[in-house]
């Protein structure tokens, strides 16, 4: 399942022997009172330099120029689309600039439903904290975020490794691959399980085009009897289609329809050969 994925070393400021307190801390908080509380808490915790930003655009500029060791940002409750509300998190995690792509990010939000937490996690937030927050809980999450983790870059995810336990030097980078290697599950079952997880993920956003991609993948995996390079190719095509749908989220519907229809045509031809 991970043919288009790679694990890279999580090498932010900690590799130089610094702590998050030694690097500038960027705070993007749109509520002035909460912003003052966060700044005061960070100062009391020993942060040497704290930079506040008034907008996502300003924050992105600061990140490129000052290379902070920690980012504290809020989820803007008034922004309905979570992609826009979390644009700062996404822009950092998907950047090609390796100097700041893996900066720890602590996200605060007035809401903490399972869907919101999962969306924040899936876009690469290191830690999530619900408002109102206590100073001790806030600083605890900051310390958790600062613990070095490997950076994972996959077709649909870029961010810190979401699993906290050590990999113990295993050769296989991802859990499903390791489970297959250990004989806990066969390749086809692992692929189907991944499909179900994918279906749940796309269902959260209610995108009909993405749902069609999920249905197409499930249809294909239900029909095949084995899982090898050819089957994995189809899986990765579905992942790539979802990436395209994400990238064209605010574009015209015809572009998104053509992506899905093209994928469904490929699957239809593959199934006809079975």
pLDDT tens-digit series, residues 200-223: 676 666 678 888 888 898 889 889
Per residue in 232-257, pLDDT tens?
A: 888 888 888 887 777 776 566 788 88
Mean pLDDT of all residues in 247-272: 83
- 10 token code pair: 């999580």
Residue 263 within a domain: yes
Q: What's the pLDDT at 136?
A: 92
Whether residues 31 and 137 share a domain: the answer is: yes
Residue 97 within a domain: yes
Does the model's pTM come out above 0.75?
no
Per residue in 21-78, pLDDT tens?
A: 988 999 999 888 899 999 999 999 999 999 999 889 999 999 999 989 999 999 876 5
> Whole-angstrom Cα distance, residue 213 to residue 216?
5
CA-to-CA dists, residue 26 to 22, 39, 88, 182, 208, angstroms: 12, 10, 12, 43, 37
- 148 token code pair: 């070095």
Residue-range definition of the domain harbouring residue 247 = 175-272
How many domains does the chain divide into?
Answer: 2
Residue 196 within a domain: yes
Most confident among 79-93, 137-151, 232-246 (mean pLDDT) = 137-151
Whether residues 41 and 127 share a domain: the answer is: yes
Whether residues 126 and 235 share a domain: the answer is: no
User: Is pLDDT of 9 > 60?
Assistant: no
The angle at the Cα of 251, spanning 194 to 196, to the nearest 5 degrees, equals 10
User: Is pLDDT of 152 > 50?
Assistant: yes
């Amino acid at each position: 399942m991970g043919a288009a994925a790679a694990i890279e070393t999580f090498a932010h400021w900690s590799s130089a022997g610094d702590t998050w307190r030694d690097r500038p801390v960027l705070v993007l908080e749109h509520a002035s009172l909460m912003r003052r509380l966060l700044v005061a808490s960070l100062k009391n915790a020993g942060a040497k330099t704290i930079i506040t930003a008034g907008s996502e655009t300003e924050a992105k500029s600061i990140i490129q120029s000052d290379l902070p060791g920690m980012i504290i940002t809020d989820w803007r409750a008034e922004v309905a689309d979570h992609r826009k509300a979390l644009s700062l998190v996404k822009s950092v995690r998907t950047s090609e600039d390796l100097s700041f792509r893996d900066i720890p990010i602590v996200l605060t939000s007035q809401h903490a439903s399972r869907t919101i937490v999962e969306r924040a996690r899936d876009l690469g937030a290191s830690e999530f904290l619900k408002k109102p927050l206590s100073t001790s809980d806030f600083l605890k999450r900051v310390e958790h975020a600062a613990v070095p983790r490997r950076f994972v870059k996959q077709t649909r995810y870029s961010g810190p490794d979401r699993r906290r336990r050590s990999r113990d030097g295993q050769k296989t980078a991802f859990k499903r691959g390791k489970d297959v290697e250990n004989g806990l599950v066969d390749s086809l079952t692992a692929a189907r399980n991944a499909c179900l997880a994918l279906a749940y993920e796309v269902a959260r956003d209610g995108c009909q085009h993405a749902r069609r991609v999920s249905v197409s993948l499930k249809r294909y995996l239900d029909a095949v009897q084995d899982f090898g390079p050819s089957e994995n190719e189809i899986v990765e095509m579905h992942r790539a289609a979802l990436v395209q749908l994400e990238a064209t989220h605010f574009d015209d519907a015809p572009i998104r329809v053509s992506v899905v229809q093209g994928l469904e045509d490929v699957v239809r031809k593959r199934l006809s050969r079975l």
